[in-house]
Amino acid sequence: MKLLALGLNHKTAPVEIRERLAFGPDIIAGALRDLTGCDTISEGVILSTCNRTELYCAGHDGAEEEVRRWLSSFHGLEHERVDPFLYAYADQDAVTHLLRVSSGLDSLVLGEPQILGQVKAAHQTATDCASTGKLLGRLFQHTFSVAKTVRTETAIGSSPVSVAFAAVNLARQIFSDLSQQTALLIGAGETIELAARHLHHNGVGRIIVANRTVERAHDLAAQFDGFAISLTEIANHLPDADIVIASTASPLPVLGKGTVESALKKRKHRPIFMVDIAVPRDIEAEVGELSDVYLYTIDDLQGVIDESLRSRQAAAEQAEEIIAFHSGEFMAWLRSLDAAGLIQDYRQRAEELRDEVLARAKRQLEAGKPPAEVLNFLAHTLTNKLLHAPSSRLRQAARDGDADILDAANELFQLDQSRLNANP
């Protein structure tokens, strides 16, 4: 069985490609069933976030090519259009990649903690859909343990840096005094909650939370003395918003160019700062063409984020060492599965030989042969049968000068070669 990690992220693909390959919550179950229905795939987990779409699979030879084509085909895209943006890792490299992703080392924001929760959610969804088994189940549990170790043994998460933090930090640069500004937050997930916390901490004047489920929006807004609206009410409140941060799971934009144009007229063209963190995008790209709108996508935040990362570099080096050790540890466990099968086969063969010789010995006893003679026959015959194949292989290795096999046999059977040489 082989491990495969295949996907694309903010480093390899622009947002317009990432949004076309995202898996929304409404299609993920069907996608998992379809993925594990591929001939070469037996287990699968799909991780889909704003910054990445990744497929983690356990499969057989040919899995990489089949998964590459499956990903583009599932989303109705030509393989040639998608393939240049993809990366693939196999076996230990796949393990290392998942550990790095879960520990925040491969994130847009180095060391950001939200990704671990997203990986856990992806694994839980796959488990609920029965698309994981022994291999990926063990891998992801191992991953969660290693990510916890990285958090507790390094300072990778010591600085308050996240995509939400970067968005609010950029707003502070544009509006020196947030106390006079109104923020409209579209969505009610973890990223929006973090943005609300950062805005509230920085003294923003007012917070409005818009969400498809108004009850969820109300629960979030109530924590920060804000108020909640539905997505259909955005147009009515957009003229009041100086800051807009959007992060929903909607497959289509929730804020269009026409709605923003109308809001700007009512604002008498006072500028609006907008950050679209969602993939697929929540705000139509054409909105960025409007005067008096400063629209940033998740990719545009990279410069802001870079300024906050210097303190995490040493911690990241420590984390890489931890990950290197634990990826090797997992592969050792994986190799032990092969040994377990070999041991089982060897024991079965030995037991078959034992039963064969024992049956012959019983027949000799029944024929009246002396027990001592039968015991000698049993011991001699069984020893010869058990040692015949390995003895033949060792003689061949000696003739061929294959020192590796001879050394391995010496270690395997715990032979004292010097004693044997001294006592031929």
DSSP 8-state secondary structure symbol assigned to residue 25: T
C-alpha 275: how far from chain center = 26
**In degrees rounded to 5, what are phi and psi of residue 160?**
-80, 65
Contact between 295 and 276 under an 8 Å Cβ cutoff? The reply is yes
188 is in an annotated binding site: yes
191 is in an annotated binding site: yes
Kindly list the catalytic residues: 50
52 is in an annotated binding site: yes
Strand partners, 8: 53
125 is in an annotated binding site: no
**In degrees rounded to 5, what are phi and psi of residue 228?**
-110, 150
Kindly state the tokens that stand for 41: 């795939």
Contact between 96 and 324 under an 8 Å Cβ cutoff? The reply is yes
247 is in an annotated binding site: no
Q: How far is CA 57 from CA 2, 88, 112, 247, in A?
A: 8, 11, 25, 28
Contact between 52 and 8 under an 8 Å Cβ cutoff? The reply is yes
38 is in an annotated binding site: no
112 is in an annotated binding site: yes
113 is in an annotated binding site: yes
Pick from 107, 126, 124: nearest CA to 44: 126
Is the C-alpha dihedral spanning 103, 108, 112, 115 positive or negative?
Answer: negative
187 is in an annotated binding site: yes
19 is in an annotated binding site: no
180 is in an annotated binding site: no
DSSP 8-state secondary structure symbol assigned to residue 312: G
Q: Which residues are annotated as a binding site for substrate?
A: 49-52, 107, 112-114, 118
Q: Which residues are annotated as a binding site?
A: 49-52, 107, 112-114, 118, 187-192
